[in-house]
Structure 1
């Protein structure tokens, strides 16, 4: 008598995260069950490390199995008349999936189905109902486990305890003590970001220096952003992108050592918040929404220089200058593009001399700003309003607890106060971040900036992105006026910096 051809299905829970050995053990049991019943396994379907309880998880082999069952054959034409599994919770944990499976396997008469305990008749309504009931119970158990895990995470976070998982970069395996090599790198990256350096530039430097992630991978701007944007580096914790706060409304401080101050982390966070919804160029500039420009500027003043040549009507050309090279000139040249691309094509200037003059002008501005800066930043002007809103909410809660305020009045008033407090708290964080950036600027040693400005980056010089940030903060643009026909001696008086106010 010919053996009935069936398929074996195996799945290991994504929450358990076991390896392939567990899956092969399931297939082995399935083959033994099939042989005991006189069936023959002709194909094995495997969904390893994929949850059957989450609606957004697609189990590719499960879907392929349903298609084969409905067709009665595999893609290569091999006949299929049934399925064997270890247990029904390996097959489906959602009633909808079990219904689709039951519909596919009973699409034709004579199909067979079995688990480790023996064969089951899915054409019997009672058997199908029990299978659906089992899927419902399984789903309820999964939800209870998920709720317990969420409560456990919340409790640990409120107690300031570290979480498991991959070792965070910057800490030793105990997740509490700072790593003496990695922690300074994270701290310097934060300070560089506040100073205007781009994620791309820092990640590239780490790659050149051979720095690896805690998993041993090369750094990318995305992985670096995850690290420096994590409040863990300042001793705080977040769940679902919200800071974990205590009863007093302040962030809970973790038991691990912090790498940077909360003010420094908030300064970095404010930088990233300002970039949301925009394309970020490799040098850190915020581009247009969904704009795509993968080029990193190779020259200091790209985008800052404007053509000052007069048009026939007396107005300036004002076209952004581009960079070109000439065979008889070692240095790069800033030129106004031709008329076909919107320029006048009638102005060019030696690039290294322009870069040198504007660099000196920007450094002089930095030295002037350092002399005029104040060491003590001003206080947040809305602190009294914030404290008053918190006090009113506390009083309202006390009165409601004592029964002196109705439910309608309490919940309507409390909701408005909570919105006001949340808005003011965000403003306070942005203000603190702004002060941190100002403090970083005012405490910057301009003499050290000047020393590193003209050094090559591989010899400790400032990265181009950092220098361009200083230029951007000092200048709106630089207008270059024509020097006449032919090659004239470089004249800095023909360069007009347009300074920013303040």
Structure 2
């Protein structure tokens, strides 16, 4: 590598919210961005040493972006995982990297973790160390947010106008319909697919199980769009679509005319509105609020059960073991309040194995605590907290901002705006640090103390779910759970096979 050429990292992202998720088109989108970045770097006499990519990830919706997080971590450390120095960042446009004030603050903080770095986008080089960089960066964010809002408003008005005219939404081909060649905005029924839909809708109205309904699609011989097996969730989405009944829905409501009557589409319906309504009574898709977030909350749902993700189904299927991950779920009857069960066949499992949650948790807890009891305190190690540098840098920026306020170097409006954002970032970092420290503390406990705190409730000083799962993960990679047979009471130490991590030994369980 030429030592006089700056070593840049490139970032590419595509939201891909246009019906082409996880397709070749989306891959080509980020690849084209990286190609453009490398060309711009060559023109500037620099070289791209690493690519960071977030494909099918929205920045404006606040989705987790692994590529973005990895880039920030490497900038804080000053080097990539391969040891290459990070001397700058290049992207096709700043809105690929940040679209919110918090994303901007986090990015510029990481960028300034080392002096003399270069930043470049399609407009050329930009000085992110300049005194007015914060203000110009926030102006970029405001511009992006305004454009997003205007674009969303235009799109919403266009869809509303199309719906009032009875024109189908043509964002992507849906099962049962296909675009009419040479007639933009027009769709026609695919007869063989429509027959499957009618049979499935009739089965749903009759009250047949979802697994049985999914089997109708599987037995049709018609492949899914990506060639994989039919899943229950996909089938639910297909047969609950208002398009099948010649209707359109906006913001969770059927589009109606001025008299309040449903606007009928210009395409041929596959089922009647009454049949569709009966399907919706059984399955109403979760409605998303404007901006894409679920009305039930945002972010990934945290783990609720101790062994979620650890248990594998051990039922024999087609000459081998099922090995589908068993999911935790609440029970409506019996002594147990929850259980772990294999997914149904229509969802990739066999549906033939389940175990009481409390019993399984107790068995695994005894095993884990027994294996760990022989170890010395401090033997367990978790990776160092990866965001320590970011925490210190954000705290430093907040302190600097408060100093500027005292000196009168910043307007009160801008101070409040930036201080609020930085404080929220700091709170998130501190919460993550506390969670890491809690796991570290339980790793340093001795055997008796670990047993004592495991038996206590979290609000009484006992371990929380995150600590317990961390201890389980230090001992086990997985647990094979074998079916016991309907009505058979499981006995301690039987019916499951723990798979210990390399180098660990425990009591033999059969």
d(CA) in 1 for partners of 2:136, 2:102:
14
For normalisation by structure 1, the TM-score amounts to 0.50
Structure 2 alignment gaps of length 5 or more: 181-185, 285-329, 345-510
Change (3 A) 1:29 1:295: closer
Q: Are positions 1:109 and 2:109 aligned together?
A: no
- Which residue matches 1:65? 71
Cα pair 2:196 2:216 within 8 Å, conserved:
no
Change (3 A) 1:210 1:144: same
Cα pair 1:13 1:49 within 8 Å, conserved:
yes
Cα pair 1:73 1:80 within 8 Å, conserved:
yes
Q: Displacement, 1:117?
A: 4.2
- Which residue matches 1:211? 222
- Which residue matches 1:248? 259
Structure 1 alignment gaps of length 5 or more: 274-285, 297-502
d(CA) in 2 for partners of 1:31, 1:255:
47
- Which residue matches 2:174? 168
Q: Which residue, 222, 229, 244 being the options, matches 1:233?
A: 244
Change (3 A) 1:162 1:121: same
Q: Are positions 1:48 and 2:55 aligned together?
A: yes
Cα RMSD (Å): 3.1
3-state secondary structure, aligned to 1:97: helix
Q: Are positions 1:187 and 2:198 aligned together?
A: yes
Cα pair 1:14 1:49 within 8 Å, conserved:
yes
d(CA) in 1 for partners of 2:127, 2:28:
30
Q: Displacement, 1:148?
A: 1.0
Change (3 A) 1:95 1:176: same
3-state secondary structure, aligned to 2:205: helix
Q: Displacement, 1:76?
A: 2.9
Q: Displacement, 1:207?
A: 1.6
- Structure label with greater radius of gyration: 1
How many residue pairs match? The answer is 284
Q: Which residue, 284, 288, 293 being the options, matches 2:332?
A: 288
Cα pair 1:8 1:45 within 8 Å, conserved:
yes
Cα pair 1:158 1:246 within 8 Å, conserved:
yes
d(CA) in 2 for partners of 1:170, 1:32:
44
d(CA) in 2 for partners of 1:206, 1:268:
16
Q: Deviations over 1:29-83 (max 9, x none)?
A: 433443444433221222234333222x222211211111111111233221221
Q: Displacement, 1:116?
A: 4.0
- Which residue matches 2:390? none
Change (3 A) 1:164 1:126: same
Change (3 A) 1:237 1:46: same
3-state secondary structure, aligned to 1:125: coil
Change (3 A) 1:62 1:226: same
d(CA) in 1 for partners of 2:253, 2:339:
29
3-state secondary structure, aligned to 1:169: coil
- Which residue matches 1:96? 102
- Which residue matches 2:143? 137
Q: Which residue, 2, 8, 27 being the options, matches 2:34?
A: 27
d(CA) in 1 for partners of 2:115, 2:246:
63
Q: Which residue, 5, 10, 27 being the options, matches 1:3?
A: 5
3-state secondary structure, aligned to 2:11: strand
Q: Displacement, 1:106?
A: 1.1
d(CA) in 1 for partners of 2:252, 2:128:
46
For normalisation by structure 2, the TM-score amounts to 0.50
